[in-house]
Structure formats: C-alpha cells, structure tokens
Amino acid sequence: MINHRPTVELRAVESSAVRESIDRAKHAEREGRWAEACAVYEQLVRDPDALSTTRLAALRWLGRAYLEQGNRGAALDVLEAAVTSASIVGSPRTVAQALNVVGIVYQVGGDLDQAATIYAAAREKAGLGGDGALIAMIDQNLGTVAMIRGDLRAALEAFRLSHLGYQTLGMRNHEAQILNNIALAYMELGELADAEIAYNEAARTFEEEGDHARQLDLAVNKVQLYIAGRRYDEALTQCQALLSVAKDEAAPWRGEVMRHIGVIARERGDLPQAAENLHKAEQHAIESGDLLLRADVAEQLAEVYWAQKRHRDMLQSLNEAHSLYSQMKAQHRVAQVEKRNGALESRFLEMAKHWGDSIESKDRYTQGHCERVAFFACVLADSSGFNSRSLFWFRIGALLHDIGKIIVPMEVLNKPGKLTEEEWAIMRRHPEAGLELVADIDFPGDIRAIIRNHHERWDGAGYPDGLKGEAIPFAARILCVADVYDALTTTRSYRPGLTHIRASEIMRASTGQFDPQLLETFLDWAETADIPGRPTPQRMAIFASGVGS
C-alpha cells in the first residue's frame, strides 16, 4: 500500500532561518536521515525566534521522526505534549493534527483499537476546525486500520469518504493514492473487476500529475491483480516492462517484481524457474533490508518446495519466514505482520500435517496418526502449562515426530506379522533419521527432542539414547504417552483398535515406559474426553501385542 504521510502546511510567516531549518529537516526525512531530522526539530521546538505554531508543528514532526526511528515511547511523550499545548493555545485543527499523529503511533504499534479511537477524536476536531484535507487524511487512516483488521467493507467506506474529500478539494495526487488503497481492498475481497477500475483511474491520475514514481508503484501492485486473475501473460509483460525501467537503478520494488515473476512461473508449473526468481527476489530483499519481502519470498519458496516434495527445504523456508515475522513483531511493525503470521502458521501446520500424512500413507493402518498424536500431545502440553507460542511449535514437532520413518520400507511398515531382528533395527533408526532431516533447520523449542527422543522409556530402556526419567526431555515424554495411546486405540496391521479401558490397562501395566504423572494426567482426561473415532465397546479387541512402534 502506498505509504501515507500526513502533510502539514505552514500558514504563518516565518523567519528565513527557521524556514531553512524546516527545509533541511524535511530534506533529511525524505532521504531517511531521521536522526538528523530529529536534531533539527528538537532545536526548533525550543527556538524562541520560531512562531508558536511552528514550535507546535515541530513537536508533531519530532514525534513522527522518533516513530520512524522505532522509538515509540519518545514519540508518544512528544506527541502528548503536542496535544496538550495545542489544546491550550491552538485551534481545533492543530489539536486534530497532533491527535492524528498520535493515532499513527498506536497504529504502527499494532494497538488498532486505540488508534481508531484517537483517529475518531482527531476527525471530530478536524471537523470543528473545518479542515477538509485533514478530514480526508484521517478517513484514509481509519480505512487503513479497518483494512488491517480485515474489515474490508468498513475500509472501503472510509477510503471512499477520503476519496470524496480529496476530490472536492482537487487534491488529485491524494485521490490517486486513495484509489490505490481502494483497489487493494477490492483485491483482498476478491472483487478483481472493481480493483482494476480503481487501479486504472489511479494510473490515469498519476500520469496526468506526472508522478512517475507512484505510477511505477501502482504498476507493481497491478501485477498482483493480474496474478490473482490468472492473467499470467499480462502479469509477465508488466513485470518485464518494470524491469526494463529499473535496469540501471536500484528501484525499491525490483525485488517485488522478481517475486512476482517467481510466483507466475510456479503457477505455470515451471518450478525450477520459480525457485530461481524467488532466490533473486530474496537476494534483493536481503540487500535492501526488506524483512517483509524476505518473509513473503520464504513463504512462496516453501510452496515451491512443497510442490517439488522437497519437504526438508520446505520446512526450512517456513521456519525462516516465521522467524522473520517474529523479528518484525519485535520491531513494532506489528499490525499487518500479525495477520500474515497467523496465515503462515496455519499453512505451516497444514504442510507439517501433509508431510506427516505422506509418510504415514506408506502405512495404511496409521492414517491420521500424526494429527491425532499432535492433538493428544497438545492437550497434555496445554494442561502442563505450555503457553500458546510453545504450543504452536510443540504441535509442529508432534506432527513431524515420525518423519524419520521415511527410511523404513513400506513392506516393513505394513508388515502384519512380527518384525525380524533386521527389520526392527531399521525401524529403531527412525528417530535419528528424523533428526538428521531437520539437522540444519534452526527450529525453536522442543522439536528436535520430540523427534529424537519420543521412544525413550522412563526406566532408561528406550532408544536411541537410553535416557532415563527426567533426563528425557519433557516434550518427548508427553509425545511418548500420546503416541502409544493412539497406537493402541486405532486399528493396526496386527490387531484391531482397543477401547480406552483396555488401552489404559495396558499402558498402566507397561511399568517403566512412561512418566507416571503424565500418564495419569492423560488417562484421566482421555477417560471422559469426546475423542472422534474412538473404538466403541462393540469393537473391543480381545488381544493386543506390541506397544507403540
């Protein structure tokens, strides 16, 4: 979305020295030298030669500059002072301007409720002050907040109001910026025809205004429209045209265009070409420090690897995207990151489940095993006090716990009778094989322990490390209980599924296998829980052999 920065006009006559300072600071801002801009604004705030309106405006600009430097606390302090001073000495318009920037600080910090409340207050003051441009600007910000929240109809309504305001004032360039936002909202709604109308109108306006830079930004956004409408030829033509413009310059959107080319290749089934272009986009994103693009490219690469069945690389890319989103959150660039990260986590879980399933599908008796184990294990982890963040990673680990079974031949996995010594030796290698698969992925939390140690026994007689008691990682002890319970209560190649009562008896009798406390907590829960697909007493098995695999 085209970034919107509030513009403020000076209406009083200022001394030339003060005007020069303002120009210098604004120039520094445009070039991203925020520390320099801050220094000038700090001087202006205290400059006795400056008009009071200028000193007030400088407080607001200073707040904005602190925000750009990532210093939200300082920004809020300065802006609160600006609001207070404006309330005492200024007009409603001045108060509205200061409140608007306070709203921006909260919005950037991800506190959308507070931002919306403050924007509404700012809008009211701007109305009292009769400042149409400021009202349009605030409507634009209200629309952006609604869009981040996912309330796209409200966003469209606010953007339309803003557009009308700018139109009435003849502010053509602002009109076009808002049309770009309207197009993005229609895109999110999947209403591509309306998005295209808005883009085309914005493009015409930018052209008339001679705003070449924004015309190009818009053209980059429009590629997404073509991709969404599966108009790949047009999308590619547009990308090539953009790249030829950016040939000799470091256009900020170059990486984004490479990303688009990668996505087009992927959608057309040319996976090697897709990977190559996405890697180029990744390189641009790294060079320009664009974390959002890097995260996005990593997500797209995960999809390519998924299609290529390169599951390990897929996990690595998903993990990278996730860690980038976490970094962005830490930098308080939260709002849209929160939403995108939520979508990424869902996709992450989905891909982990699919991979788990694809390994299981070699074993026709264990369909859905990974997902059920993950469900049981998460219930137990939750009752053991894992927070939601740890639970996410715990769930990923539980879904992936048996990925090492990829090394076990299908005839061994599906063998109805007893395994030979040699076959058992292969089967027992799966925890280590699983860990080797994820060895160079920088996973957080307990994933490695779950994969490697889910066949350890409380008495130390398990494998692969023969760990004993509390030396076994807690997450692996949980997984062991969940894994065995599911193995017992579902039909296997060598026996039908058991009821809860029979499974409990077997697990309790398997002295030394489980953490006793975790086992009791789990069986207590499972006794009364409504577990889909649980065997009924009519299907009660009369024999059982083998506990887990």
Of 463 and 474, nearer to Fe ion (C-beta) is 463
* Stretch binding Fe ion (CB under 5 A), from 85-93, 267-275, 398-406, 472-480: 398-406
**Other Cβ atoms closer than 10 A to 353:** 18
Smallest separation (angstroms) from Fe ion to the CB of 289: 42
* Stretch binding Fe ion (CB under 5 A), from 1-9, 207-215, 298-306, 394-402: 394-402
C-alpha 179/C-alpha 186 separation (Å) is: 10
Contact status: 175 vs Fe ion (CB under 5 A): no
Contact status: 256 vs Fe ion (CB under 5 A): no
Of 131 and 402, nearer to Fe ion (C-beta) is 402
Of 109 and 404, nearer to Fe ion (C-beta) is 404
Who contacts 310 (Cβ-Cβ below 8 Å, separation ≥6)? none
Contact status: 363 vs Fe ion (CB under 5 A): no
First to last CA, the chain: 52
Residue type, 133: A
Smallest separation (angstroms) from Fe ion to the CB of 404: 7
Smallest separation (angstroms) from Fe ion to the CB of 427: 9
Which of 209, 112, 97, 199 lies closest to 154 in space, CA to CA?
112
Q: How many helices (H) and strands (E) does the chain have?
A: 26, 0
Of 59 and 374, nearer to Fe ion (C-beta) is 374
C-alpha 236/C-alpha 242 separation (Å) is: 10
- State the residue number with the nearest CB to Fe ion: 402
- For residue 135, give both structure tokens: 């009202």
Backbone torsion region of residue 199, taken as left when φ is above 0, otherwise alpha when ψ lies between -120 and 50, otherwise beta: alpha
3-class state of residue 442 by DSSP = coil
Contact status: 299 vs Fe ion (CB under 5 A): no
- For residue 106, give both structure tokens: 């909260």
Restricted to residues 193-232, the positions that interact with Fe ion (CB under 5 A) are none
3-class state of residue 295 by DSSP = helix
Contact status: 371 vs Fe ion (CB under 5 A): no
Restricted to residues 67-86, the positions that interact with Fe ion (CB under 5 A) are none
* Stretch binding Fe ion (CB under 5 A), from 71-79, 95-103, 371-379, 402-410: 402-410
Smallest separation (angstroms) from Fe ion to the CB of 412: 13
Q: With contact defined as beta carbons under 8 Å apart, do 225 and 199 qualify?
A: yes
Residue type, 368: G
C-alpha 207/C-alpha 222 separation (Å) is: 15
Which of 451, 441, 338, 316 lies closest to 394 in space, CA to CA?
451
In the list 217, 402, 446, 515, the residue contacting Fe ion (rule: CB under 5 A) is: 402
Contact status: 456 vs Fe ion (CB under 5 A): no
Smallest separation (angstroms) from Fe ion to the CB of 383: 23
- For residue 8, give both structure tokens: 């403020």
**Other Cβ atoms closer than 10 A to 266:** 20
* Stretch binding Fe ion (CB under 5 A), from 239-247, 396-404, 470-478, 487-495: 396-404
Of 29 and 402, nearer to Fe ion (C-beta) is 402
Smallest separation (angstroms) from Fe ion to the CB of 525: 22
Q: Is the dihedral of CA 265, 266, 271, 277 positive or negative?
A: positive
Contact status: 139 vs Fe ion (CB under 5 A): no
Contact status: 515 vs Fe ion (CB under 5 A): no
| % helix, strand, coil for the chain, step of 5 | 75, 0, 25
* Stretch binding Fe ion (CB under 5 A), from 76-84, 160-168, 242-250, 397-405: 397-405
Smallest separation (angstroms) from Fe ion to the CB of 5: 55
Smallest separation (angstroms) from Fe ion to the CB of 430: 6
Smallest separation (angstroms) from Fe ion to the CB of 474: 17
Give CA separation, 323 vs 123, 330, 419, 436, 463, in Å.
38, 11, 42, 21, 32
Smallest separation (angstroms) from Fe ion to the CB of 483: 6
* Stretch binding Fe ion (CB under 5 A), from 139-147, 320-328, 401-409, 443-451: 401-409
Which residues of this chain interact with Fe ion, rule CB under 5 A?
402
